[in-house]
Amino acid sequence: MPDVFTENTVSKIALPKNSNLINYSVLNEFYSPSPFRSFSIKYVVDGSELYSVNGNKYIIKNQQYLLANKFSEGFVEVDSKKSVTGICIDVAPNILSEVVASYLKPDTSFVDIDLDRFFNTPSFLENKYNASQTHLGQFMLGLESVLLNNPTSELNLSNEFYYTLAEKIVADHIPVFKQFQSINAVKSETKKDLLRKLYNGKDYIDSCFTSALSIESIAFEVGLSEYHFFRLFKSFFL
């Protein structure tokens, strides 16, 4: 079963690194530096959690999650009058590596080494996602339903559970990896920044789909020039 944490217990537990772990938390006030112990899924069931990751701020709300690997640095903070409920899952690096190794380079029988580097180095694009829009998110919605009914549910937390999570993470990020590779920049941080802005632009469009939007207003929202945003967005998403 998952560990269940509240303010009275979470600060007293030294959580392991580089291992499989799931916990279900109900918190009003909480702060922790460097919350990414392995390949981490930070999912919010109800409320809002603030994350700072590699200098970027993410507010994670209901049915959203943050994904980051162990090379990410920052903190998490909860400060709410209403209890904030969340699910945190760490997937051990060896589990993810095994799943990544099963994906072959297109048109060859060889493992895609660049894909493994993408997941297991600082190049990985940490980002926020809506659960309804990803394979992993759909899985987390189902897990949320189980834990809301009974936080101490006897889940089958064998390696198969974590392999399934890893498979969904990889499936969601194959397109991201290809987009990452296609950006014409030398530094991975530059690629990550551009790709993050494009995804922010897409989220902005999705959230304002009933409004009349212009390319200029979307580009301004994400901090890119109008033409730069237009050219990159068209090549990635259209």
| 91 and 65 both lie in a single domain | yes
pLDDT at residue 6 greater than cutoff 80: no
User: Which residues does 211 contact at the CB level (< 8 Å), separation at least 6?
Assistant: none
CA distance 137 to 129: 8
Instruction: Indicate if the pLDDT at residue 47 is higher than 60.
Output: yes
Helix (H, G, I), strand (E, B) or coil at 220: helix
Residue 203 and residue 145 share a domain: no
Q: Does 9 lie in the same domain as 87? A: yes
Is 187 found in the same domain as 76? no
Report pLDDT digits (tens) over 86-97. 999 999 988 998
Q: Write the pLDDT tens digit of every residue in 182-202.
A: 888 888 889 999 998 998 898
Average pLDDT estimate for 134-149: 92
Give how many domains the chain has, as a whole number.
2
Q: How many residues does the chain have?
A: 238
* pTM of structure: 0.86
* Residues 75, 161 share a domain: yes
The answer to whether residues 9 and 91 belong to one domain is yes
Domain residue limits at 199: 183-238
Pair type for strands 3-5 and 21-33 = parallel
Same domain, 86 and 35: yes
More confident residue, 122 or 110: 122
Give the H or E element holding residue 204.
Answer: helix 188-207
**Does residue 19 sit in the same domain as residue 30?**
yes
48 and 94 housed in the same domain: yes
Q: What pLDDT shows up at residue 12?
A: 43
